[in-house]
Amino acid sequence: MKKEYVSYLKEVSEFIPKDRIYTDELRLLAWGTDAGFYRMIPQVVIRSSSEEEVSRLMALAHKYSLPVTFRAAGTSLSGQSISDSVLIVAGKNWEKYTISPDAKTITMQPGLIGERVNQILKPLGRKFAPDPASVKSAMVGGIVMNNASGMNCGTHANSDKVMLSARLVLADGTILDTGDEKSRSDFRRTHPQFITRIEEIRDKVRADEELSSRIRKKYSIKNVTGLNILPFISQDDPFDIIAHLMVGSEGTLAFLSEITMATGHDYPYSASAMLYFKDMREACRAVVAMKHGPVFGAEMLDNKSLVSVNDTTGEGLTAVLTETKADTPEELQANIDAIKKILSSFETYIPVYFTDKPEEYSKYWAIRSGIFPSVGGTRKLGTTVLIEDVAFHIEDLPDATVELQAMLAEHGYDEACIYGHALEGNYHFIISQSFDTPEQVKRYKDLMEDVKTLVVDKYDGSLKAEHGTGRNMAPFVKYEWGEKAYEVMKEVKSLFDPESLLNPGVIFNDDPECYIKGFKPMPLTNVHVDRCIECGFCEVNCLTCGFTLSSRQRIVIQREISRLKSLPDQQERLDTLKKQYKYLGNATCAGDGLCSMSCPMGINVGDLTHDIRQEELPAGSLGYKIGDYAANHFAGIKSSLRPVLYLANVAHSMLGSGMMTSVAKGLHSAGMPLWTTAMPKPFRLHKIEQKEEPLKVVYFPSCINQTMGTAKNSPDTTPLVEKTVQLLQKAGYEVIFPEKMDSLCCGTIWESKGMMDIADRKSAELETALYKASEQGRYPVLCDQSPCLHRMREVMTKVKLYEPAEFIYTFLRERLEFTPIDTPVSIHVTCSMRRMNLGNTIIDLARLCSRNVFVPEEVGCCGFAGDRGFTHPEVNSYALRKLKPQLIKEGIEVGYSNSRTCEIGLTTNAGIPYVSIIYLVDQCTKPKNRTL
């Protein structure tokens, strides 16, 4: 590392904790990757947490002349959030917001995810106006700084149009709030020449009618090529100009620490139609016609796009996904009728059908949002996927689209697809290829030259409509805009960043071939993840994102490890990455699979983790032998745990919670699993008296519930197995237990360790026992632990399997009389429930029991992950960091879930007891039309 970086780090470490400064090989590589197709490895990565920190970081960077790049979610596609110098991350620590009393404005920090903003605003009838397809993963900072737009916002509601003010940290560390009068006044006093220069540029631009006219025309369609110079025409006040110059600046001018934006009206009624046309030109003509109707969005999907998402409507079709919105059902129907009238002169492959049912049209839009990753997933494995982003004036759409399609074919990109915001003349086209040879690089270069000619020379469109300039289009900014406009951009850059230290190479790059250099390698590594394009959509559901590594970053590292294995001179680096991955990548991965739920291709990084663990525990190794022994002597292993729980409970009673906790922490630091006050007493199932009933259910209590009773602070002292039997009997069911239950297990324990063959063997044993107990599948089977039930469903086919909430809601609801309580209760939806699409079931069941049901926000997987909550409790703590404040605010004193291990972690971190949903149902019900 160069001495200037050493000096910089020495001063930085004086005010930023070491656990937020990364200089290790693994995390530098992980953060050197974003959703784009370039890679740069930073020298330093710093996870910032405050404006004051960023101010000092930038002042020090200025002192040592070190380039700085900012990053939020890293979903940008054009190479604008990567660095080979200092990378400052503004993500998980930047999530604060305030809403005005009338909800017409919202002030946000840059780390809020766009979809989260929509969730916050929806109850108030408002929405976040910018709507990129990545809104469920992209953060506000990136959305604004790229001027990312999407399906409905067009040019009328993008970040530039709805921005009101911004707080900035300038290159010299100065903080400016353009919405605060004192800050403006102070800035005028300390930076008078800055304000004067802004006013001079403004006046010069306005005095040049040709340039002003050029700017107006260029921004009449979507355009993010270069810096946003529209503010010199659209804004008068110099501070408003400064704020709006941030939009689309991609971190090249300043750091955006906070932004105030106008919220949009959230129409309560919506309808969508998937329109199919036999001909692309005809589809484009229909879009042009609809531009003048009550259409909010019209998304083009060419045939290759449809094929990528397995649309089977017909061969060779082009689709246009169309949407309209209204405030009343009557207005919505009037809009639909008006659109149908416009379309009556066009031939569609199937009749025009609009649906106003969310469960139907949400599927259309999910398909549209997932086109880029889905197409990327169908590429030839090992190739790089690239997405370009152009815009035409709407009247040129039919001819330009057909020509673009022909151009891609002419260059040999037979698998390329075209899709996007046709109503705004904005298209994306996706191609995939390798860059291993000069010929392959030249093919891409030749294509881009022809794209430039088509878009700029022939149609005067935008080479970048919404994805940002980045490194990808930096060499073409001047070509698209012309000399005078480009000089204005350079003047702005020089004013804000005189040393060119902020995100160098992005927007302004002196290398005319920078766009064909530094491509990201995509080697094959594991069959479960090879289709990944590193878009980052998974990270919103990854519980360790921002703690150790995210699901995307785990794939990045494993790809690099695979690449290095074939390079003899890189063995030292290979060994370093493998060593560092053990904790950051392997040990702290919960393997919960929630990442697959936000991945358009369903990639589950938990599968990768299990494979890695399997490689580390080959048959014959000591670890494998221990696992095999445990499987063969499972009843004895469980029995041996009961005395341990008993002794811990006695010690807890004698020492008290405070002393016992201190002792437990000390033992954990020495390598022992962590004990907490949420740990239960031991339990052993004894014979349960019951009478024969016509309704029968096979009940398999999970291993942990066969072993563990209740904790000291549990609201009910009855062990779960006994409580479950009581509830089933209350509803008129006879309970059947499988034979030799003590030795049975679903196999999840071994699966989580990577011992897949042992896991499958235990699953097979259990299925055989359940099949016999259920009289060859005649009776339903209930398991009281949702993670166990999830695995059982994945590997078992002979029996009908249910988890508690699902069984109760399906079979017991009509046999019990519910008397809801007023006590507020919290519900935790486990990751396995989410993956089984049963999240709403447990919530609906809770609402039958309580009039005040609270589901905490931004709490996904709890991170306990079976036994990892004992061995790596820091993961559990991080995953639940947002839980306790919400429970305190809502005044909640008890929570419910359906996984004993999760409940231990929840209780430990929430400060209130969490128990099975079965306890709540039992509390609130009595038999219906029956006597016990």
Which tokens in the block code for residue 20? Answer: 């937020």
For the chain, the helix, strand and coil percentages under 3-state DSSP, each to the nearest 5: 50, 15, 40
- Measured N-to-C along each axis, helices 483-496 and 192-207 cross at an angle, to the nearest 10 degrees, of 170
pLDDT at 125 over 50: yes
From the list 264, 240, 261, the residue with the least C-alpha distance to 106 is 261
From the list 827, 821, 844, 853, the residue with the least C-alpha distance to 923 is 821
From the list 454, 381, 440, 436, the residue with the least C-alpha distance to 412 is 440
The secondary structure element, H or E, covering residue 757 is helix 756-773
Contact between 842 and 920 (Cβ < 8 Å): no
Cβ neighbours of residue 873 closer than 8 Å, sequence gap 6 or more: 668, 674, 676, 905, 908
pLDDT at 242 over 90: yes
From the list 536, 190, 149, the residue with the least C-alpha distance to 376 is 536
pLDDT at 772 over 60: yes
Q: With cut-offs at 50, 70 and 90, classify the pLDDT of residue 153.
A: confident
List b or e across 222-240, with b for residues whose CB sees 16 or more CB atoms inside 10 angstroms.
Answer: bbbbbbbbbbbbbbeebbb
CB atoms within 10 A of CB 9: 19
Q: What is the mean pLDDT of residues 865-879?
A: 93
Share of the chain above pLDDT 70, in %: 100
Helix/strand/coil for 190 = helix
Which tokens in the block code for residue 571? Answer: 């063995």
The pLDDT value given to residue 673: 85
Q: What is the pLDDT of residues 637-670, one digit of tens each?
A: 888 888 888 888 888 888 788 887 888 788 888 8
Contact between 178 and 166 (Cβ < 8 Å): yes
CB atoms within 10 A of CB 281: 15
The pLDDT value given to residue 241: 98
Q: What is the pLDDT of residues 483-496, one digit of tens each?
A: 999 999 999 999 99
Cβ neighbours of residue 179 closer than 8 Å, sequence gap 6 or more: 164, 165, 166, 167, 243, 260
Residue 515 DSSP one-character state: G
Q: What is the pLDDT of residues 318-366, one digit of tens each?
A: 999 999 999 999 999 999 999 999 999 999 999 999 999 999 999 888 8
pLDDT at 284 over 80: yes
Q: What is the DSSP string of 627-661?
A: HHHHHHTHHHHHHHHHHHHHHHHHHHHHHHHHHHH
Q: What is the pLDDT of residues 413-441, one digit of tens each?
A: 988 999 999 999 999 999 999 998 999 99
Contact between 375 and 425 (Cβ < 8 Å): no
Q: What is the mean pLDDT of residues 143-168?
A: 93
The pLDDT value given to residue 930: 57
Q: Which residue has the tokens 């246009």?
A: 320
Record the pTM. Answer: 0.94
Contact between 865 and 902 (Cβ < 8 Å): no
List b or e across 511-521, with b for residues whose CB sees 16 or more CB atoms inside 10 angstroms.
Answer: eeebbbebbbe
Residue 687 DSSP one-character state: -
Q: What is the distance between the alpha carbons of residues 452 and 475, in angstroms, rounded to a whole number?
A: 11
Helix/strand/coil for 684 = coil
One-letter identity of residue 649 = N
Share of the chain above pLDDT 90, in %: 86
CB atoms within 10 A of CB 175: 18
Q: What is the mean pLDDT of the chain?
A: 94
**Start-end of H helices in 370-482:** 371-377, 397-410, 438-452, 470-473, 477-481
Q: To 5 degrees, how large is the angle CA 541–CA 906–CA 917?
A: 95
Residue 226 DSSP one-character state: S
Whole-angstrom CA distances from 282 to 302, 366, 858 are 12, 25, 44
Helices (H) and strands (E) in the chain, counts: 39, 27
Cβ neighbours of residue 14 closer than 8 Å, sequence gap 6 or more: none
pLDDT at 126 over 90: yes
**Start-end of H helices in 808-924:** 831-835, 839-849, 868-871, 873-879, 883-890, 900-910, 917-923
Q: What is the pLDDT of residues 679-692, one digit of tens each?
A: 888 999 888 888 88
Q: With cut-offs at 50, 70 and 90, classify the pLDDT of residue 932.
A: very low
The pLDDT value given to residue 658: 85
774 alpha carbon, distance to own chain's centre? 41
Pairing state of beta strands 44-47 and 86-89?
A: parallel
The secondary structure element, H or E, covering residue 211 is helix 209-218
Q: With cut-offs at 50, 70 and 90, classify the pLDDT of residue 308.
A: confident
Q: What is the distance between the alpha carbons of residues 743 and 749, in angstroms, rounded to a whole number?
A: 14
Q: What is the distance between the alpha carbons of residues 58 and 499, in angstroms, rounded to a whole number?
A: 12
Strand-pairing partners, residue 816, are: 927
Q: What is the mean pLDDT of residues 183-194?
A: 98
Question: Burial of 136 by CB count in 10 Å (0-12 exposed, 13-18 middle, 19+ buried)?
Answer: middle
Please give the torsion angle defined by the CA atoms of residues 711, 714, 717 and 723, in that order, rounded to the nearest 10 degrees: -100
